[in-house]
């Protein structure tokens, strides 16, 4: 009888040990914003998950719609940064902030990866309770002190940003065989809404979506150039414009009373559905361009002015994802929000010429 009890106890201990050995390690990915940067981190999250990690993503309002429900993660934690900024220095903010830190610590993460690498992510990294807190040596604003494990500098302006972020996966020996981009599935409601928004589109021609707006003034392309492109491609494409409520004036100028404007009529997942139905999406270097790339279906023509296209152009098939501009001037790419030139400020926004873009878009008909 005693022997049987010893065997049962031994088996029980072995089972517990086996469960401990096979339990997934927990990773916290800290990438709060912007939309484009959140999209660029999706392949990293997929690499971690496919390697067997349980992935939690700490994200702000700007990126949560492309992370929540995304198969690249197991859990999503919202840091409501924009809400806190609007409130200002309120006690309520501090209470919510510390409650969120407590929530993260209770998860007992094995690893935290700070791919935001600026001051606003440092506190989350430092106090999330993870045993290993990984950050790169080119972290900015003193955020490097939030880590306890450092990898070499990851940002190279000539290397696609997706590959730069995947250096964290290389550090953990889980660089993927195939780079996987995923988005949350669109609901039936979203599909029906977009059906209605595009009801008047001429289905006999391929769909071209133009998303002309972005957040940096120096990344905006000359609005008359946009008009010229529209005039040249409208015979061969049905054209739809997208943008936020504040972009309606710009869109109305470019479309000049023609075509369909969805400015202010779509949320993030509506946009993904619109992009997924397009033959081509044309945009400056913006969240829209990167979201269109992540949607997988359309060709993406990205117009570069002040930012480095080697770093930020959509990654993949160069016949499908084409970067135009971003070179030729001595100051390009400056990668600055505000132009520092004394004369001819924002001159880069006048380039490339419309013809260069038209040739690319017309050539995509062969794909």
Asked whether 172 and 185 are in contact (CB, 8 A), the reply is no
* Adjacent-strand bridge partners of 134: 113, 149
Cβ atoms of 79 and 61 within 8 Å: the answer is no
Q: How far apart are CA 132 and CA 347, in angstroms?
A: 46
Neighbours of 15 (CB within 10 A): 10
β partners of residue 284:
303
Letter string b/e over residues 310-345, b meaning 16 or more CB atoms within 10 A of that residue's CB:
bbbbbbeeeebbbbbbbeebeebbbeeeebeeeeee
Task: Give dist(CA 264, CA 250) in Å, integer.
Answer: 12
CA distances to 220, 284, 291, 293 from 287, rounded to whole Å, are: 13, 9, 6, 10
Query: How high is the pLDDT of residue 367?
Result: 61
CA nearest 195: which of 124, 277, 74? 277
Residue 124: the pLDDT is 95
Closest of 333, 56, 68, 76 to residue 216, by C-alpha? 333
Domains and CATH numbers, the chain: 20-171 (3.40.50.2000), 189-366 (3.40.50.2000)
Q: Looking at residue 7, what is its pLDDT?
A: 47
pLDDT at residue 168, as a whole number: 98
**289: nearest Cα among 53, 46, 37:** 37
Q: How many CB atoms within 10 Å of residue 307? A: 26
Token digits of residue 184:
């949350």
**pLDDT beneath 50: ranges in the chain:** 1-7, 9-10, 12-13, 16-21
Strands of the sheet containing 321-325, edge to edge, are: 260-261, 238-241, 207-210, 280-284, 299-304, 321-325
In degrees and rounded to multiples of 5, residue 130 shows phi and psi of -70, 145
Q: Return the pLDDT at 366.
A: 59
Residues 135, 151: Cα–Cα separation, whole Å: 6
Residue 290 CB burial class (10 angstroms; 0-12, 13-18, ≥19): buried
Instruction: Give per-residue pLDDT as tens, 77-116.
Output: 999 999 999 999 899 999 999 999 999 999 999 999 999 9
State the DSSP string of 278-340. -SEEEEESSHHHHHHHHH-SSEEEEEESSS-HHHHSPPS-TTTEEEEES-SSTT-----SS--
CB 271 within 8 A of CB 244: no
This prediction's pTM: 0.91
Tokens representing 281?
Answer: 């999406």
**Could you tell me whether strands 111-114 and 207-210 are parallel, antiparallel, or unpaired per DSSP bridges?**
unpaired
Nearest to 135 by CA among 161, 109, 112: 112
Contact in structure between 119 and 141 (CB atoms under 8 Å)? yes
Which residue matches tokens 């309120």? 90
CA pair distance 132, 290, nearest whole angstrom: 30
Cα separation, 312 vs 280, in Å, equals 18
């Amino acid at each position: 009888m005693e022997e049987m009890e010893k065997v049962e106890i031994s088996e029980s201990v072995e089972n517990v040990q086996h469960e401990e050995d096979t339990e997934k390690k927990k990773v916290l990915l800290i990438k709060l914003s912007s939309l484009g940067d959140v999209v660029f981190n999706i392949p990293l999250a997929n690499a971690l998950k496919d390697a067997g990690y349980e992935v939690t993503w700490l994200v702000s309002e700007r990126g949560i719609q492309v992370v929540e429900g995304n198969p690249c993660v197991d859990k999503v934690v919202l840091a409501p940064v924009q809400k806190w900024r609007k409130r200002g220095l309120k006690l309520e903010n501090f209470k919510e902030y510390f409650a969120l830190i407590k929530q993260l610590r209770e998860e007992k993460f094995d690893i935290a990866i700070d791919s935001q690498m600026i001051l606003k992510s440092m506190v989350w990294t430092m106090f999330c309770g993870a045993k290993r807190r990984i950050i790169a040596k080119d972290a900015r604003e003193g955020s490097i002190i939030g880590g306890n494990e450092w990898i070499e500098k990851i940002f190279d302006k000539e290397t696609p940003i997706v590959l730069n972020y995947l250096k964290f996966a290389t550090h953990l020996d889980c660089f993927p065989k195939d780079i996987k981009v995923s988005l949350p599935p669109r609901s039936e409601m979203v599909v029906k809404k977009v059906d209605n928004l595009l009801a008047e589109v001429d289905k006999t021609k391929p769909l071209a979506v133009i998303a002309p707006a972005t957040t940096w003034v120096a990344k905006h392309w000359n609005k008359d150039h946009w008009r010229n492109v529209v005039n040249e491609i409208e015979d061969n494409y049905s054209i739809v414009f997208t943008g936020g409520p504040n972009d309606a004036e710009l869109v109305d100028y470019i479309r000049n009373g023609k075509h369909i404007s969805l400015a202010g009529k779509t949320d993030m997942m509506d946009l993904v559905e619109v992009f997924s139905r397009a033959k081509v999406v044309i945009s400056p270097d913006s969240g829209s361009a990167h979201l269109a790339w992540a949607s997988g279906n359309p060709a993406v023509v990205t117009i570069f002015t002040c930012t480095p296209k080697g770093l930020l152009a959509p990654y993949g098939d160069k016949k499908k994802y084409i970067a135009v501009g971003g070179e030729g001037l001595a100051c390009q790419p400056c990668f600055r929000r505000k132009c520092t030139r004394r004369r001819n400020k924002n001159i880069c926004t006048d380039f490339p010429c419309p013809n260069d873009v038209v040739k690319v878009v017309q050539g995509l008909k062969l794909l």
